[in-house]
Amino acid sequence: MPAASAPASPNPAPRVRRTVFVEGVRTPFGRARPDGLYAHTRADDLAVKTVRELLRRHPELPAERIDEVAIAATTQQGDQGLTLGRTVGVLAGLPRTVPGYAIDRMCAGAMTAVTNVAAAIGVGAADVALAGGVEHMGHHPMGFDADPNPRFLAERLVANDALNMGVTAENLHDRFGALTRERADAYGAASQRKYAEALAAGRIDADLVPVATRDPERGWGLATADEPPRPGTTVEGIAALPTPFRPGGRVTAGTSAPLTDGAASCLLAAEDTAAELGLPVRMRMVAFAYAGVEPEIMGIGPVPATRRALERAGLTIEDIGLFEINEAFAVQVLAFLDAFGIADDDPRVNPDGGAIAVGHPLASSGVRLMTQLARQMAERPDVRYGLTTMCVGLGQGGTVIWENPHHPEYVPTSDVPTSDVPTSEEAAR
């Protein structure tokens, strides 16, 4: 007698809706020091400024249509604690009905905020969301007041220097002999040069929202430009710098991202909702992935994360026309390039410079990468796919692959067969 077939599920899995990047903005980045741009500015106010700017730029978006606010911070205390997503939403003037939450994946905080809300959009739990991150490293130094579990060392789960990011960069130099100091020095100087060229060409200012500042001695001011860049940096100058993480080492201030204060936020939507509201589409999320690696060489994290993301997207590294790689350290970028057979000076890689020049306010940098990539895609309609990727403390990496809506082969949701893309109602069921 034939076996009875299993009854059909009353709640079949919904088809995933497409998530698009509408726009991203960031504050100018400041140096994390007592006389830095934001020495007397609250971290949560920096995040509020970015959210308000997104709302100002998009009056076509009714604020009540925002379904979620996800804001990341690595050190969640003081003025960047208290459930940032919710407090930033309230302080930015969003309706009280808009919920929010805080998130932490260290350097990939904002990236994780983006992928979390994108996943919610994909299954119909949200139509529009805000995601971003803030880090005031002047108020909250990395690892400040942290209490790592003693089992990490007692049970030899990680090396005793794995929590020092600079040492993990030195470890990458040790592990891979091709990653020389000379290559890192050249890369650091190139990052500064590319940023200076992008700034002179007017390609940076559109991403920035000015921030009013106040200093007890100097009075009121207006932050309109990034503070960390050092134009005119040369390979010879970097070569003369000391190696603070190890005597006779290879990592210097010229090949590391400076300690930085700043915030960045972006607006995400389901593609059909963007069409309904008249919101622009700057990129479409194709796939994302996170991966763990040995904490001692955390800088290699983008490599397995990118391989996973490419596999999920059905793409190869040759399909990627633009790379935005977070420059926590030059050696980390070089390790990525070597893993995929990409030249150090490949013009697809960080064409406007990176964190070595502009700074790395930890949890905010993921959206900074996305904002730059979105602008570059608008300038390069010949490029169909780009990616944003970064290493993460304690041994992780994260990668997001994006499609360019300006590319001639891009197909918007409205042109995809309805059997392939669910409506909002279908996705919510």
The pLDDT of residue 426 is 45
Distance CA 127, CA 118 (A): 9
Residue 230 burial by Cβ neighbours in a 10 Å radius (0-12, 13-18, 19+): middle
What is the chain's mean pLDDT, rounded?
A: 93
Q: What is the mean pLDDT of residues 302-328?
A: 98
Q: At 223, is the pLDDT very low, low, confident or very high (cuts 50, 70, 90)?
A: very high
The pLDDT of residue 162 is 78
The pLDDT of residue 2 is 46
Q: What is the mean pLDDT of residues 311-322?
A: 98
Q: What is the mean pLDDT of residues 312-319?
A: 98
Q: What is the mean pLDDT of residues 252-259?
A: 98
The pLDDT of residue 422 is 46
Cα 182 to Cα 245, 250, 252, 339, 350: the distances in Å are 17, 9, 12, 18, 19
Coil, strand or helix at 6 = coil
Q: Is residue 10 pLDDT above 90, yes or no?
A: no
Least trusted range by pLDDT, from 60-74, 157-171, 388-402 = 157-171
Q: What are phi and psi of 278, to 5 degrees?
A: 80, 25
Q: Is residue 73 pLDDT above 70, yes or no?
A: yes
Q: What is the mean pLDDT of residues 399-419?
A: 83
The pLDDT of residue 418 is 45
Q: Is residue 414 pLDDT above 70, yes or no?
A: no
Coil, strand or helix at 106 = coil
**pLDDT tens, position by position, 224-254:** 999 999 999 999 999 999 999 999 999 999 9
Report DSSP state, residue 97. Answer: T
**pLDDT tens, position by position, 89-126:** 999 999 999 999 999 999 999 999 999 999 999 999 99
Q: What is the mean pLDDT of residues 346-364?
A: 98
**CB within 8 Å of 293: residues ≥ 6 apart:** 300, 301, 304, 395, 396, 397
Least trusted range by pLDDT, from 63-72, 204-213, 342-351, 420-429 = 420-429
Cα 281 to Cα 40, 89, 106, 268, 406: the distances in Å are 36, 23, 28, 9, 9
Q: Is residue 186 pLDDT above 80, yes or no?
A: yes
The pLDDT of residue 15 is 66
Q: Is residue 425 pLDDT above 60, yes or no?
A: no
Q: What is the mean pLDDT of residues 187-192?
A: 98
**pLDDT tens, position by position, 17-52:** 999 999 999 999 999 999 999 999 999 999 999 999
* CA distance between the termini of the chain: 36
The pLDDT of residue 47 is 98
The pLDDT of residue 8 is 54
Q: At 421, is the pLDDT very low, low, confident or very high (cuts 50, 70, 90)?
A: very low
Q: What is the mean pLDDT of residues 286-309?
A: 97
Radius of gyration of the chain measured on its C-alpha atoms: 22
Q: At 11, is the pLDDT very low, low, confident or very high (cuts 50, 70, 90)?
A: low
Cα 319 to Cα 35, 66, 316, 374, 388: the distances in Å are 45, 33, 5, 17, 14
The pLDDT of residue 280 is 98
Distance CA 339, CA 297 (A): 14
The pLDDT of residue 142 is 82
Active-site amino acid positions: 107, 360, 391
Side-chain half-sphere exposure of 160, counting CA atoms within 13 A: 2
